[in-house]
Amino acid sequence: MATSEMPPPTAPTSRNPETELLQTQAIAIERELSKVIVGYPDVLRGVLITLLAGGHALIEGAPGLGKTLLVRTLADVLDLTYSRIQCTPDLMPSDILGTNVLLASSETGERRFEFQSGPVFANLVLVDEVNRAAPKTQSALLEAMQERTVTVGTRGYPLPRPFFVIATQNPIEMTGTYPLPEAQLDRFLFKLKVEFPSANNLKEILVRTTTTWEPTVEQVSDGESLIGIQRVARDLLIASHVMDYAARLVMGTHPRLPNSPEAVRQYVRYGASPRAAQGVVLAAKMNAFLSGRLNVSFDDVRSVAPAALRHRIILNVEAEVAGMEPDVIVDTVLKHVPEEPR
């Protein structure tokens, strides 16, 4: 493998007027979303972190918990194009990506193929119940999510920027579903869990959805500004010892390493990927940025680790028999790995 020189370490981002403006816009996006979505501050923060990091989010939750409303509201706040793909077993890749259509000229009668783009050509794409799509259709999303391009035939088509996928899956109803392959799960920066709301939050949801109340949000940013926010947030300072802590957390999920917790060695088949480590660091930067800071702390790393790691840890058969969940493994690793190496 060819080697190249390492890039210089990340320099601290100065607090200049442009940085302050972009940071204010990022915080305002979260504020506007909270006007509409009731009771899920962690999910809102997770979705926004994923968006600012230029990644994609997988949301797991029962139907009717406002996932579609969240994406539509995000599109309104950012003035971005939005599309929704309802996954079913008979959904074909061309239904998502688009296809070449044979057209005839009304004047000359000449026939030619013209590409008709599919719903994936939008800034924000909601892929509802992604695990209901057949594996062939699921794989059609891989190139779009990773490369930001779509290939139809022999020609590639760039997707609009910014490009952000939120996929949902229902954890209760498993009939007629296809488990997402590990390679596709790894494409998601975060896996977020939407739990059933509390009694007070459920009451507020009822008030908002059974009356004439209509949510109103303000547009506080746009696609161009969002790309600027992504660039500035990526340049946030992360100290070497904090970066080392993030790396050791990911290493702690691997069962064959001597310093891994006992639960990892007993229940984990494969640990988190290098992409998971990248995700933890990027997400920690975005969390710091949304918190009004320009440097990353240990708490930022700890707060984003569960969402960045839970879908990248593959458990073994013994874990399935014992009813072990990836979240328990991540929590164990967080308690086991110290901030400073022993």
Contacts of 97 by beta carbon, 8 Å cutoff, 6+ apart: 118, 120, 140, 144, 150, 152
Residue 296 pLDDT grade (very low, low, confident, very high; cuts 50, 70, 90): very high
Q: Which class for 158: exposed (0-12), middle (13-18), buried (19 or more C-beta within 10 A)?
A: exposed
Distances (CA, A) of 332 to 2, 265, 299, 336: 37, 12, 16, 6
Of 274 and 214, which is predicted with more confidence?
A: 274
| Torsion angles phi and psi, residue 150, rounded to 5 | -125, 130
Least confident interval from 144-148, 173-177, 298-302:
173-177
What does the alpha-carbon distance between residue 309 and residue 305 come to, in Å, rounded to a whole number?
6
* Per-residue model confidence (pLDDT) at position 15: 63
Mean pLDDT of 28-33: 85
* Per-residue model confidence (pLDDT) at position 266: 92
Q: Answer whether residue 229 shows pLDDT above 90.
A: no
Of 330 and 117, which is predicted with more confidence?
A: 330
Amino acid at 82: Y
Residue 173 pLDDT grade (very low, low, confident, very high; cuts 50, 70, 90): low
* Per-residue model confidence (pLDDT) at position 135: 83
Amino acid at 143: E
Closest to 215 (Cα-Cα) out of 82, 68, 37: 37
Least confident interval from 163-177, 194-208, 257-271, 279-293:
163-177
Q: Which of 50-64, 125-139, 292-306 reaches the highest mean pLDDT? A: 292-306
* Per-residue model confidence (pLDDT) at position 8: 47
Residue 4 pLDDT grade (very low, low, confident, very high; cuts 50, 70, 90): very low
pTM recorded for the entire structure? 0.86
Residue at token pair 């990526």: 234
- pLDDT-above-70 percentage for the chain: 92
* Per-residue model confidence (pLDDT) at position 56: 93
Residue 28 pLDDT grade (very low, low, confident, very high; cuts 50, 70, 90): confident
Of 324 and 68, which is predicted with more confidence?
A: 324
Q: Which domains does the chain have, with CATH numbers?
A: 23-204+226-235 (3.40.50.300), 236-342 (1.10.8.80)
Mean pLDDT of 78-101: 88
Mean pLDDT of 45-67: 85
With H, G, I as helix, E, B as strand and everything else as coil, classify residue 47: helix
